[in-house]
Structure 1
């Protein structure tokens, strides 16, 4: 099983296409942790900001896409997608792994995430929102934030995505393809 994991594209077409073309080839599913289209009032817009085209590309994606609603995802934006934007979280079971995908704006603290993960017996808890990467295991759950594919807030400024394949999660630098961190489930 191969899962592509992305968050915080904020309407930037290249963020999506770079992740799909470079890292998500052969994926069985793509999980998006929200803030798909709108750049948000505090975020800059880069030259590739094209939410209308991003909708078309996601709608025509040959791989199933699961999207959790982010704080910048409006109902009007959601109506453009052929797949639902799920709120407050999406719950996926893939090859026996229980996966929660939530944006992270409503479940922000580690304690809140731990409680939700325990209640839903999650093996993997994916969130976005903070535009930086997290990959750690607490208790029985791996917590992953793939960072932002478009508007990084990492100290090094690297835009990122993640892949789960053969039981290993890797966070990639979108520009270079370098593995920034990895963890075995």
Structure 2
């Protein structure tokens, strides 16, 4: 099983292209934790900002894509996507493991995430929104925020994505490929 995990692309087509080319090749599934197309009024636009190009690439993806709706995802953006924006979360059962994907703006605190994960019996709880990576296990659930693929708010400024493969999750710098965080799964 290989799952590519991305969040907060905010219309930056180049971030999607790099993620797919360098990290998601051969994946069985791509999970996107929201804020797909719009850059948001607080975020800078970079040279690769091209929301229509990003949407066209997502629509043309040969790998199935599941997307949780983010706070910057509008109905107009959703109408252009060939896959639905799931709100307030997407629930995927993959090889017997329960995966919850939510943007994170409705469940900001660890306590809120813990409660939602427990209620949904999540093995993996994925969120975005804060543009900072998180990878930790609390109780029976692994909590992952892959960070932003385009507009990092990490102290080091690195844009990141995650890959679940061979019983582990890796959070990687999208530019260098360096593994920044690693967690072996006990599933």
Which residue in the other structure is 2:54 paired with? Answer: 54
Where 2:80 maps in the other structure, the secondary structure is coil
Q: Report deviation, 1:167.
A: 1.3
CA distance in 2, matches of 1:158, 1:53: 23
Pairing 1:99–2:99 present: yes
CA distance in 1, matches of 2:27, 2:173: 18
What are the ranges of 5 or more consecutive residues in structure 1 without an aligned counterpart?
Answer: none
Which residue in the other structure is 2:157 paired with? Answer: 157
Question: TM-score by structure 2 length?
Answer: 0.98
CA distance in 2, matches of 1:146, 1:48: 20
CA distance in 1, matches of 2:173, 2:163: 11
Where 1:91 maps in the other structure, the secondary structure is strand
Which residue in the other structure is 1:115 paired with? Answer: 115
CA distance in 2, matches of 1:19, 1:38: 18
CA distance in 2, matches of 1:5, 1:84: 17
Pairing 1:83–2:83 present: yes
CA distance in 2, matches of 1:106, 1:160: 22
Which residue in the other structure is 1:2 paired with? Answer: 2
Q: Report deviation, 1:131.
A: 0.3
CA distance in 2, matches of 1:18, 1:47: 14
What are the ranges of 5 or more consecutive residues in structure 2 without an aligned counterpart?
Answer: none
Q: Report deviation, 1:166.
A: 1.3
CA distance in 2, matches of 1:100, 1:110: 15
Moved over 3 A (4+): none
CA distance in 2, matches of 1:42, 1:71: 13
Which residue in the other structure is 2:17 paired with? Answer: 17
Which residue in the other structure is 1:126 paired with? Answer: 126
Provide, for residues 48-79 of structure 1, a one-character-per-residue CA deviation record: whole Å limited to 9, x for no partner. 00001111100000000000000000011101
Provide, for residues 82-107 of structure 1, a one-character-per-residue CA deviation record: whole Å limited to 9, x for no partner. 11000000000001110000000001
- Pairwise CA RMSD: 0.4
Which residue in the other structure is 1:178 paired with? Answer: 178
Which residue in the other structure is 1:74 paired with? Answer: 74
Q: Report deviation, 1:184.
A: 1.1
